[in-house]
Amino acid sequence: MLKNFIRSMCQKLLGYNNYLYVFALFSIKRIQWGGGHEKEFLYFLDMVPNDGVILDIGANIGVMTVTLALKKDKAKVYAFEPVPDNIKTIEKVLKHHKIGSVTLFRTALGEESGEIRMVVPVVGNSNMQGLSHVVEDKADEAGGQYFTVPLQRLDDMKELQAVQKITAIKIDVENFEYYVLKGGRELLLKHKPVIYCELWDNERRIACMDYLRSLGYEVKIYENGALHTFNGQQGINFFFVPA
């Protein structure tokens, strides 16, 4: 409750867009200092080669986008984010860090093309941009900021078809990962990138794991500073490594 109150006050005092910008800059610094709860992401970062193209799917306000671009300065980062306020923040943060190696795609991804409805939930009096997600059921109609955004399949994007090598994918799209990855089947088979993925503990986690295993991936989880085969351990962040 206290954390949400502080967030609400900061958004009110700074204005929502200024709050997102300041929070993004702080979060990037926190990762650089080794703080926060990003050990899994930092391990993923060390796995990624410093060349080719990295996909950041669900870029949100650009924290991991910028971290990837700064750490992998010889690679290109393709960031995907559909929420308008988040997009504005990414653009400002990239400008602040003088990064030119990021290409921003203002679209959602899925297993079909068209349009889709998304929501930024409101908890208390604060917008929860980190929980932005696709509207899928009536529970999502409880309140928040709603947007209709473009929806594309990875396999249909001409910009990706011209890429010689996609080395890695970071994906965090709030329980929509399975559909995004299904829309990129040919891309995954062609490039076999290492995938760092947040998966909720539900039937879609199982479906996503089964799907990626069918494409030749092994499921790993980070424990005690190393990757281990997933055998039901507790966790939400997973690594999919080509067998």
DSSP letter at 118 equals E
- What's the rounded mean pLDDT across residues 37-60? 94
DSSP secondary structure, 153-207, as one string:
-GGG-HHHHT-S-EEEEEE--SS-HHHHHHTTHHHHHHH--EEEEE--SSHHHHH
Q: What is the pLDDT of residues 137-172, one digit of tens each?
A: 776 766 788 999 999 999 999 999 989 999 999 999
- pLDDT of 35 above 70: no
Judge whether residue 201 has pLDDT over 70: yes
pLDDT of residue 2: 58
* Cβ partners under 8 Å of residue 89, min gap 6: 17, 20, 21, 24, 61, 62
Amino acid identity for residue 14 in this structure: L
Q: What is the pLDDT of residue 164?
A: 95
**How many percent of the chain have pLDDT more than 90?**
75
User: What size, in residues, is the chain?
Assistant: 243
pLDDT, tens only, 69-125? 999 999 999 999 999 999 999 999 999 999 999 999 999 999 999 999 999 888 777
User: 147: phi > 0 → left, psi -120 to 50 → alpha, else beta; which?
Assistant: beta
Alpha-carbon distance values, 184 to 149, 193, 212 (Å): 19, 12, 11
For β-strands 133-134 and 114-123, DSSP reports them as antiparallel
What domains lie within the chain, and their CATH numbers?
2-242 (3.40.50.150)
Tokens of 71: 């750490």
* Residues 130, 76, 103, 196, CA torsion sign: negative
* Most confident region among 7-11, 13-17, 37-41, 104-108 by mean pLDDT: 104-108
Q: Is the pLDDT of residue 5 over 80?
A: no
pLDDT value of residue 8: 78
**pLDDT tens for each residue of 168-196:** 999 999 999 999 999 999 999 999 999 99
Q: How far is CA 80 from CA 3, 106, 134, 229, in A?
A: 28, 6, 14, 29
When comparing pLDDT for 56 and 9, which is higher?
Answer: 56
Confidence of residue 36 (pLDDT cuts 50, 70, 90): low
Which pLDDT value is given to residue 6? 79
Question: For residues 171 and 197, is the Cβ–Cβ distance under 8 A?
Answer: yes
Crossing angle of helices 84-96 and 63-71, in 10° steps, is 30
Averaged pLDDT score across all residues of the chain? 92
Would you list the DSSP string of 17-77? HHHHHHHHHHHHHHHHTT-SS-HHHHHHHHHS-SSSEEEEES-TTSHHHHHHHHHSTTSEE
What is the spatial distance between Cα 8 and Cα 4, in angstroms, rounded to a whole number?
Answer: 6
pLDDT at 106: 98
Predicted local confidence at residue 130, as pLDDT? 83
- The per-residue pLDDT for 14 is 83
- What's the whole-model pTM score? 0.94
pLDDT, position 125: 78
Residue that wins the pLDDT comparison between 128 and 166: 166
Evaluate the CA torsion angle 189, 192, 193, 195 in order and state its sign: positive
Compute the radius of gyration of the chain from its Cα atoms: 17
Q: What does the pLDDT read at residue 197? A: 96
CA distances from 36 to 3, 20, 204 (A): 15, 17, 27
Q: Is the pLDDT higher at 138 or at 205?
A: 205
